[in-house]
Amino acid sequence: MRTIRQSGRHELEIRKSRFICTLARVETEAEAVAFIAEHRRAHRDATHNCTAYVVGEHGEITKSSDDGEPSGTAGVPMLEVLVRRGLTGVAAVVTRYFGGVKLGAGGLVRAYAQSVAEAIDAVGVVELRPVVTMTVCADHALAGRLLGDLHARGHEPADVRYGQLVEADVPVAVTELDDFQAWVAQVSGGRAQLRRGAEGFREVPVS
């Protein structure tokens, strides 16, 4: 599963028309709808505010709007770019300020698709990999070496708490859980304890 690295905007000019693509990370369809409504209010002076979004864990919820452009020339090509890139959790609005030169149906399709594609390239893409937070608990005598071993293995703790025991919250890829548990048992001589926590996603930049 992939999404954009961050929200952002990108502008290009095609035959005197300005195409401004604004992308937002959203988690639900309601968030996508709210973002689009707010953007349209803020840019009500634009000739068109065409939209597309993809949400859902598997990108199963999609919608697009041509906002007055000829049918199929704006929202659909925008949506196709999002789907082709394998993205979800993304809402896109392309705001067009007409420059006086008509582009024709084919020109519009290319312009709206290009606007979204260049905006995605500008903000970047991340892959969302399923992880489980595993809390590693150890006494203070063992914790220093164990934390060093975690760092050396590439398991950066998201949080470390010092109390009667040292507790480190470590995001672990779902596919690596068995290996991680076996490794902790080995390097700690069975002295460290593990507690399974919340599931989530780790963002890995896509080049």
* pLDDT tens-place string over residues 141-197: 999 999 999 999 999 999 999 999 999 999 999 999 999 999 999 999 999 999 999
Q: Give the whole-number percent of the chain exceeding pLDDT 70.
A: 100
* 37 in the same domain as 87: yes
- Number of domains the chain is built from: 2
**Cα–chain center distance at 37:** 21
Interval 21-49: pLDDT, tens: 999 999 999 999 999 999 999 999 999 99
User: Which pTM value belongs to this model?
Assistant: 0.79
Do 117 and 30 share a structural domain?
yes
For residues 150 and 166, what is the distance between their CA atoms, to the nearest angstrom? 13
In terms of domains, do 107 and 163 share one? no
CA distance 64 to 76: 6
Say whether pLDDT at 207 is over 80. no
CATH number at residue 8: 3.30.230.30
Last residue of a domain, one of 123, 150, 168: 123
List the domain range (segments joined by +) for residue 183: 127-206
Sign of dihedral through CA atoms 32, 36, 37, 41? positive
